[in-house]
Amino acid sequence: MIGQRLGHYLVLEKIGAGGMGEVYRALDQHLERDVALKILPAGLLTDEAARKRFRREALALSKLNHPNIATVFDFDTHGNVDFLAMELIHGTPLNDQVKPVPLPEKEILRLGIQLADGLAAAHAQGVIHRDLKPGNLMITSDGRLKILDFGLATLAHPEGDPDVTRNSVETGTVVGTLPYMPPEQLRGQPADVRSDVYAAGAVLYEMATGQRPFCQAQSAEMIGAILHQQPAQPSAVNHRITSGFESVVMKSLDREPAHRYQSARELLVALEGIGSGTPQPYKRRTIVAGGIGTLVAVLVGILVIVFNVGGLRDRVSHHATPASAPVRARRSVAVLGFKNLSGRSDDAWLSTALAEMLTTELAVGEHLRTIPGENIAQMKINLSLSDAESYGKETLSKIRANLGTDNVVMGSYVSLGGGQIRLDLRLQ
């Protein structure tokens, strides 16, 4: 292969190999730049229809433009060789750095924030990695984390193809991506953004402890552990780990997708919120949630009364209109979040927790249509909004139009200590 030309790419040297094919450094003779050529295994794309699908998906990947994602430039076929041209990253794979000595927590946070940021950008474009692991993360000489092979598992095997799991496991031994696969993926269920959150949690765990969440030597034993057990607390392996960081990792690794962070954006916010302080420890979350739960229940009661009064007005007005008048659709609400007025980083986690719990409680009974947190996070990016207690009339109109919602809930909070929280709520 060395010295051959694949289209306008001149193959220079082999730089890697894996389950998705061999990787070569090549010269793009049109643009006079070095690229990484991933030569796909023979027989991976069995016919022209498969190549068309791969090309279509590769085009979607090429639109991912983020400093923490390795860019896909091109997909082509030359003779019988199918290949992807991608950004050539000079650096060290993360799996060369995480064993056997754990990384300092400050460095883990720096890399973890970049990882979550890159994932959030891809998820916003509807792209899931599905094969996230230290070997797919490159650290450049200037300390930047780059996510490699984004979406290649999806390209090679469409959702629902059992080969995605089968190709990651070799009978009797653990290889490939198994240690980073969430329970739902092992069960053959469709992967979503929360599957990537789990894998990111496994990577954070390994950076913090120098070992994987589950270390069973046999694949069958590891699958059983992933499906039915919780990993050991990171602090049990590395006593330097703070409770705040441990909380984030353990929530990301929860066996139930609904109990994890519901998006990479939420994981990003949690990691950024650790800062110099710490969120509440994972093991104490149920105790803290009891206090917050009471607060949320009161908030829900207030909002339900407000919405019911509005509904009563609607019903009264409907009695005065012809029977042919259209029935009003159920109201919708978006919980935009709550600003932390205390300025204390160890209270920052409350913003996401309050928004998540309030959204969940308002959705009970399906009387209200609630807007998912991922949609709200993307809206804030689209409109370049920062966290605030309230927004002006023009901005609110843009928010409602972007989310397709009737009402927005937002506000601020201050932790008073002793488990007490003062929260100012605005329904706009």
The model's pLDDT over 150-194, given as tens digits with 9 standing for 90+, comes to 766 555 455 444 333 433 443 333 333 789 999 998 888 888 999
| Per-residue pLDDT reduced to its tens digit, 364-404 | 655 678 888 778 888 888 888 776 656 777 888 889 888 88
Crossing angle for the helix pair 193-209 and 105-124, nearest 10 degrees? Answer: 170
Domain residue ranges of the chain, discontinuous segments joined by +: 5-87, 91-276, 284-321+328-427
pLDDT at 109: 95
The least confident of 84-88, 196-200, 249-253, 316-320 is 316-320
Q: Which CATH superfamily is domain 5-87 in?
A: Phosphorylase Kinase; domain 1 (3.30.200.20)
SS3 labels along 276-316: CCCCCCHHHHHHHHHHHHHHHHHHHHHHHHHHHHHHHHHHH
The answer to whether 147 and 136 have CB atoms below 8 angstroms apart is yes
Task: Please check whether the two domains, 5-87 and 91-276, share a CATH topology.
Answer: no
**C-alpha distances in angstroms, 217 versus 206, 220, 223?**
16, 9, 11
| Per-residue pLDDT reduced to its tens digit, 260-272 | 999 999 999 999 9
Average pLDDT, the chain: 77
pLDDT at 320: 40
pLDDT at 193: 93
pLDDT band with cut points at 50, 70 and 90 for residue 303? low
* Residues with active-site annotation: 131
Measured from the Cβ of residue 43, the count of other Cβ atoms closer than 10 Å reads: 8
CA–CA separation, 69 and 61 (whole Å): 10
Measured from the Cβ of residue 106, the count of other Cβ atoms closer than 10 Å reads: 8
CA–CA separation, 128 and 418 (whole Å): 41
Measured from the Cβ of residue 352, the count of other Cβ atoms closer than 10 Å reads: 21
Does domain 91-276 fall under CATH 1.20.1600.10? My reply is no
Regarding the domain delimited by 284-321+328-427, which CATH topology (the fold level of the hierarchy) does it fall under? Rossmann fold (3.40.50)
Residue 104 scores a pLDDT above 90:
yes
| pTM for the whole structure | 0.61
Q: What percent of the chain has pLDDT over 70?
A: 73
